[in-house]
Amino acid sequence: MTGVVPPRAGGGSAYERAVRGVWAALYDTEDTTAVPPEVRNAAGFRLERARRLAAVAAAVTARLPTAGFLYFAGEGTPGIGRFVASDAWRAREREPGEDFPPGPSTARAFAEYLEKGWPEGRPGWQWELASADTDLAYRPPVPSPAARRAGLSPAPGTRLRISPYDTADFARRAALKKQRMPWDLVLDTVRPVERRTAILVPGTGPGAGRPLVLHDEEAAALAWLTEAPREHARVPAGEPGEELLRRLVEVGALVRDGSTG
């Protein structure tokens, strides 16, 4: 099955109306327990819907492991249903050749879905970690005014997210716990460490595509080099030293303009 295309809306034959009802129950409703009257095998239908919702969740967590875990662990199957019922997922632009579950477009749609509304009542640290995950994947870093004045900018394709929490440490500990515990229990027991942390993925050069984790003063230096994506997530900036700048240029994460050598 290539992609997920809704059947044509409107009238049509009884068969077409039945197909529309089945499609809506699978993908276009927040009620993950409902079974349309056209379905004769209710147990089989629920199993198929559960399989498809699980496939969507797996596609998300494969590309956004922290954001997907935090959302699905807290919201469960109804949360997957709400995402699949959302405009973000239904209106996404599928990429050529995507099969179900359409991973790249689904993950991007999930990032847009979270951006429009993180569940109310959830702790702020969860949103910070989830947004760090989505920003790293989809929000290119923007050089700060100070960096531009110094002739510095992120190399093309470079990805960066700076957080007041140790995002790499949380992802590692959560992944280990998930191997032994249900996700909701992992969410209840694993907490992030407050430590300025930058995840940097160079876009060019010998380090292209290889994530780097920087802490403390080095993370603060990257905060000086780039604009914060959100005010509440701002990490206090500290001007970088020449040694750090040299390393960032060498790995392909940073470029200097001609006037600065």
Distance separating alpha carbons of residues 26 and 100, to the nearest angstrom: 13
* Chain segment 176-189, per-residue pLDDT in tens: 999 999 999 999 99
pLDDT at residue 231 in the model:
44
Distance separating alpha carbons of residues 162 and 236, to the nearest angstrom: 10
Per-residue pLDDT band at 229 (split at 50, 70, 90):
low
> What phi and psi values does residue 214 have, to the nearest 5 degrees?
-120, 145
- CB–CB of 99/2 below 8 Å? yes
* Chain segment 85-129, per-residue pLDDT in tens: 888 888 887 777 666 666 788 899 999 999 887 877 888 899 999
Reported pTM: 0.81
